[in-house]
């Protein structure tokens, strides 16, 4: 599996547009059963992308990453979409996002890890470095959760709709 991630890293620079890159990364993610989505929340400086990559690559392989902008109700809808955040999503919103802003910059990374412990080591390293606890990083628990987030973040049309539609609880 590591070879597939390496192949993607070699091919991606050859492709021109970001939507094509997103599409290739999503296709790869669907094939990798050990793929997880890492969300770096806005409380981590947006410019620290290389530092986050260093933490990830110490315990796994990042095969794609993208900077994301959430608007309007986007942060609320995102927390509601993540199963372990849903029961208390309104309460934790101010801990993950700056609620006095309408624009929220965050980063997402598509990674391969051997097992759940690698993910926990990545979380530990990021949390220790930024000293803001669990409100700095989320790593999806299952392949299905990872695909759900990847399909949102790697589809510009879906993200646009997500950012501009009103939030409703289902």
Burial track 90-123 (b if 16+ CB lie within 10 A, e otherwise): eeebeebbeeeeeebbbbbbbbbbeeeebbebbb
pLDDT for position 112: 92
Whether 132 is in a domain gets the answer yes
Give residue 134's domain range. Answer: 2-164
Q: How far apart are CA 44 and CA 137, in angstroms?
A: 8
Whether 72 is in a domain gets the answer yes
Residue 16: band (very low, low, confident or very high) from pLDDT cuts 50, 70, 90: very low
We report the CATH number of the domain holding residue 10 as 3.30.70.141
Whether 169 is in a domain gets the answer no
Residue 33: band (very low, low, confident or very high) from pLDDT cuts 50, 70, 90: confident
pLDDT for position 3: 47
Q: Which of 15-24, 84-93, 118-127, 130-139 has the highest mean pLDDT?
A: 118-127
pLDDT at 156 over 90: no
Angle (nearest 5°) at CA 13 between 9 and 19: 100
| Domains of the chain: total | 1
Whether 170 is in a domain gets the answer no
Burial track 127-149 (b if 16+ CB lie within 10 A, e otherwise): beebeeeebbbbbbeebebbbbb
> What value does the mean pLDDT take over residues 145-168?
86
Mean pLDDT of the chain: 82
pLDDT at 105 over 70: yes
pLDDT tens, 39-79?
A: 988 888 878 889 999 999 999 999 999 998 988 888 888 88
Instruction: Record the tokens describing residue 32, joined without a space.
Output: 């990798």
pLDDT for position 5: 47
pLDDT at 170 over 90: no
pLDDT tens, 82-96?
A: 877 777 778 878 887
Whether 111 is in a domain gets the answer yes
């Amino acid at each position: 599996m590591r070879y597939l991630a390496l192949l993607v890293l070699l091919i991606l620079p050859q492709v021109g547009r970001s939507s094509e890159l997103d599409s290739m990364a999503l296709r790869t993610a669907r094939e990798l059963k050990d793929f997880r989505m890492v969300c770096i929340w806005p409380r981590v400086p947006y410019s620290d992308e290389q530092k986050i990559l260093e933490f990830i690559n110490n315990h796994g392989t990042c095969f794609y990453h993208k900077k994301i902008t959430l608007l309007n109700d986007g942060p609320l809808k995102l927390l509601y979409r993540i199963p372990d955040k849903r029961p208390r999503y309104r309460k934790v919103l101010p801990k993950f996002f700056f609620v006095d802003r309408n624009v929220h910059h965050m980063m997402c990374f598509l990674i391969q890890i051997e097992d759940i412990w690698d993910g926990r080591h990545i979380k530990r390293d990021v949390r220790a470095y930024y000293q803001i606890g669990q409100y700095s990083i989320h790593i999806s628990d299952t392949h299905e959760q990872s695909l759900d987030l990847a399909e949102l973040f790697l589809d510009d049309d879906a993200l646009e709709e997500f950012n501009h539609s009103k939030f409703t609880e289902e």
